[in-house]
Structure 1
């Protein structure tokens, strides 16, 4: 996979959207990521699976900040799961480690996503 590739796969389960990011989040791919996740946020909470995210650049960090703003505006949560150590480190260095709730697994993320909806 080249540096300018990001695969965004979204699946709707009940009222929750599970989005998997695969590849690199950078200046070439940030817009694609923002558009896809924002589209889902308009309809419900999003679980963002980062297990196959290889790299996040400064532009990728900015994309996460934008998604946080969209989450607030749409009044739906974004919950992160499966964050690789290198991505955790990038989040920590950029000061956004606590921007989103983080679940240990998909089941926990579903509980967090649906809390307050019922």
Structure 2
């Protein structure tokens, strides 16, 4: 946590090694955003989410290739919130978003 008491970084750690060898994967210096990471329901992707009360920004990498650079799902845009999950067999991302004024959210599908 930083001085604002929020999570703002994601680090990669290899089990059995010293924390001194950990590498920074993601950092968000905007103190309005909290950072978290989680896996997709199918376990194929690791998501890094940076979120405020009004805006979401998500990144991902393959769970079986943790050294791969993060891919951005959608660039940060004020007021746009979205959720995403993966379907590994079809290599698809399913995204629901309030973009373009969709109050009840709209479903989008993209390949990854």
Same fold (TM > 0.5):
no
TM-score, normalisation: structure 2: 0.28
Structure that is richer in helix per residue: 1
TM-score, normalisation: structure 1: 0.28
Larger radius of gyration: 2
More relative contact order, 1 or 2 (CA 8 Å, 6+ apart): 1
Structure that is richer in strand per residue: 2
